[in-house]
Structure formats: C-alpha cells, structure tokens
Amino acid sequence: AQRVTQPEKLLSVFKGAPVELKCNYSYSGSPELFWYVQYSRQRLQLLLRHISRESIKGFTADLNKGETSFHLKKPFAQEEDSAMYYCALGNSGNTPLVFGKGTRLSVIA
C-alpha cells in the first residue's frame, strides 16, 4: 500500500534559519513524489516534483530511494514561507495521489 508520513505537524523556525520538512514514503513500485503548499486562504498548489529536479522559491527536495524519503529543504527561511506543506506520492500510472497529513511551517521574524 502507498503511504506518506510527515512526522512533524508543526515546525517553527526563525527567519534566516535553514528549514527541512521531512517526508517518508512507502511504495513498492517506481514513485513520483511531489510537494504541495497551501498558503493562508489560498488554494493548494504544486511547489515542486522530484522528476524535474527544480528549485522553486528557494526550496529543493531530493528523492532518496534508499531511505524512501523526499525531504523539502530551504537554506534561509523567509516569513512568506509560512504555510501548510503536503508531501504527495503518485506514480506514472493512473492511481491517485496519496498525501501526507501535512506540516505547518511557521517562520518567526
């Protein structure tokens, strides 16, 4: 069964500090991993996907198949990064995305 675990419900960091949001997954096939972000009163939006290996808003995430992890990182947190972050697991087929329960990031000035 597909499963996504985000161990932290809430993560508080100071502005300028590094951020790491943890995501671990369970899947026996070839996974596609995503990070979605939901800012206050805005829709859930795709932040980045592992297959594109891009950096969005300073965030990066590397898929580690050995550790089955896809942690989201940013070297210097900004106040505007405060939001709810969801890790999601999919595949190249037609099965639905499975989401973790989310981590609320709070960046303190």
Partner 1 sequence: KAGVTQTPRYLIKTRGQQVTLSCSPISGHRSVSWYQQTPGQGLQFLFEYFSETQRNKGNFPGRFSGRQFSNSRSEMNVSTLELGDSALYLCASSSRGPSEAFFGQGTRLTVV
Shortest distance (Å) from residue 77 CB to partner 1? 23
DSSP conformation class of 95: P
How many angstroms separate the CA atoms of 98 and 59, rounded? Answer: 21
Alpha helix ranges (H) inside the chain? none
Shortest distance (Å) from residue 54 CB to partner 1? 13
Over the window 40 to 79, marking each residue x when it contacts partner 1 by CB under 8 A and - when it does not, the resulting string is --xxxxx--x------------------------------
How many angstroms separate the CA atoms of 41 and 76, rounded? Answer: 24
Binding site for partner 1 (CB under 8 A): 32, 34, 36, 42-46, 49, 86, 90-102
